[in-house]
Amino acid sequence: MTSTTTTATHANTATVARTTSPASTATAVPPRWVVRLARLTALTPLPSGLWRIAAALGIPVGFTGDGAMATVTFGSWFSLYMIALTLFADGLGLLALGLVQRWGEVFPRWIPLIGDRRIPTAVAVIPAGMGATALTVLCGMGAFGWNDPDTMGQPDSPHGIGYWIMTVCYLPLVAWGPLLAVVAGHYWLRRHRAGRLHADHHRHQTLLE
């Protein structure tokens, strides 16, 4: 009887140790609505990016006059700038997926010294929170000033169908910051709960020893 109890105790201890190791401690699976919000967050810069790519390829988007947007041709420095800006923005958008996937919680194994270790919660939450704040402010200001005389109110800016196509393409950016804030907040909540569970398992392991 004593031998059986000892064996069971050792088994439970090993199970707890495996569960609470840095690489194996897993947070709860994010709910579907958070995953969907993360995907929407990643897609918010896509429409405006496609619009910029079209403009960079020399496709007329409604601008007139002799400004850079009206005279851009593919291969010019301005077209390359718009393509680079699009790739950068879309790359930032995709980072939101890390808040609902494993690669946003554990460092890749190929990274020396820290590979397969837990990513500190602050490393993900602080940049995401700062980004969400900046995006909310900047995109909100851009939305309120969309029709100002020095933006879409200029005579050389798109009118008619060109105006509405550009407006519809840029409108999702207004939701980028708030969506990122919600996803980042839920990421923090999940990691916080997992940390408490890890501490409870550690105390349980200490009692078993």
Using one digit for the tens of pLDDT, what is the confidence trace for 182-192?
A: 999 999 999 88
Q: Residues 153, 147: contact at Cβ < 8 Å? A: yes
C-beta separation of 90 from 45 below 8 A: yes
* Structural domain boundaries enclosing 131: 31-208
- 1 falls within a domain: no
Distance CA 190, CA 118 (A): 14
Beta-carbon count within 10 A of 8 CB:
10
Whether 12 maps to a domain, the answer reads: no
- Please spell the DSSP secondary structure of the chain, one letter per residue: -HHHHHHHHHHHHHHHHHHTSTTT--PPPPPHHHHHHHHHHHHTTHHHHHHHHHHHTT---S--TTSHHHH--TTSHHHHHHHHHHHHHHHHHHGGGGGSSGGGTB--TTSTTTTTSBPPHHHHHHHHHHHHHHHHHHHHHHHHTTTSTTTTTSTTS--THHHHHHHHHHTTHHHHHHHHHHHHHHHHHHHHHHHHHHHHHHHHHHHH-
Q: Is residue 118 part of a domain?
A: yes
Residue 127 lies in a domain: yes
Count up the domains in the chain and report the number.
1
Q: Is residue 5 domain-resident?
A: no
Residue 24 domain-assigned (yes or no): no
Is the pTM higher than 0.85? The answer reads no
One-letter amino acid at 196 equals: R
Query: Is 23 a domain residue?
Result: no
Token pair 């398992």: residue:
201
- Where does residue 83 rank: exposed (0-12), middle (13-18), buried (19+ CB within 10 A)? middle
Q: What is the pLDDT of residue 194?
A: 64
The low-confidence residues of the chain, meaning pLDDT below 70, are 1-27, 194-209
Domain presence at residue 6: no
Query: CB of 158 within 8 A of CB of 70?
Result: no
Residue 79 pLDDT: 96
CA gap 134, 156 in Å, rounded: 29
